[in-house]
C-alpha cells in the first residue's frame, strides 16, 4: 500500500492565532472540516517545496517555514507520513469568496471543538502547548510596556 505524504504549515500570528481553512462541502476529501494550509506532496517533490507551493496557492502568502516534526501513522484507510512546518506570519490572507474560508484563529480557540481533518487535529493538539509554538509568539518589548 502506498504511503500518502502530506505537508501542513502553521502560519502563526504574533498574538498566537493560527491560520486555518474550512474545507467546504465541495471538497473531494474531508469536507466541512478545518485544516492547516497544505495538502499532498507530489511524487519526487521535497516536502518543504510542497509546503511553499501549497501555502502560496491556498493563501497567496509566500513562506519559508521550519520543520517542526514528521508523523508516521494511519489516516482513515491509508498509511500516512505528515510533515509539519510552522512559521511566524503577520500576513493578510488573500480571500477568494469562491474558495475556502480562511481565518486566523486565536490560540486559545484552537482546541475549542472545531472539527479538523485527521492530520491537522493530530498535529495541532501536539503543537499548541509546545515551546516551539510559544517561541513564535511576539513578546512585548520595553516600548510596549511604557
Q: Stretch 26-34: mean pLDDT, rounded?
A: 63
134 vs 145: CA distance, rounded Å: 20
Q: Where are the domains of the chain?
A: 4-137
Closest CA to 118 of 1, 11, 10, 8: 8
What pLDDT, in 10s, does the model give residues 35-44?
999 999 999 9
CATH number of 4-137: 3.90.79.10
Band (94; pLDDT cuts 50, 70, 90): low
pLDDT of residue 125: 87
- Take residue 85 and report the three cell numbers written for it: 512546518
Q: Residue 130: is its pLDDT beyond 60? A: yes
Amino acid at each position: 500500500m502506498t504511503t500518502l505524504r502530506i505537508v501542513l504549515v502553521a502560519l502563526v500570528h504574533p498574538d498566537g492565532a493560527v491560520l486555518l481553512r474550512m474545507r467546504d462541502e465541495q471538497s473531494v476529501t474531508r469536507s466541512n472540516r478545518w485544516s492547516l494550509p497544505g495538502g499532498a506532496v507530489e511524487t519526487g517533490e521535497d516536502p518543504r517545496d510542497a509546503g511553499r507551493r501549497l501555502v502560496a496557492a491556498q493563501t497567496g502568502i509566500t513562506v519559508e517555514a521550519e520543520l517542526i516534526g514528521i508523523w508516521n501513522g494511519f489516516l482513515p484507510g491509508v498509511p500516512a507520513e505528515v510533515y509539519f512546518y510552522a512559521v511566524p506570519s503577520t500576513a493578510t490572507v488573500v480571500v477568494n469568496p469562491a474558495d475556502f474560508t480562511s481565518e486566523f484563529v486565536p490560540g486559545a480557540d484552537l482546541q475549542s471543538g472545531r472539527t479538523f481533518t485527521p492530520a491537522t487535529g493530530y498535529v495541532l493538539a501536539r503543537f499548541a502547548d509546545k515551546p516551539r509554538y510559544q517561541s513564535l509568539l511576539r513578546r512585548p518589548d520595553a516600548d510596549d510596556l511604557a
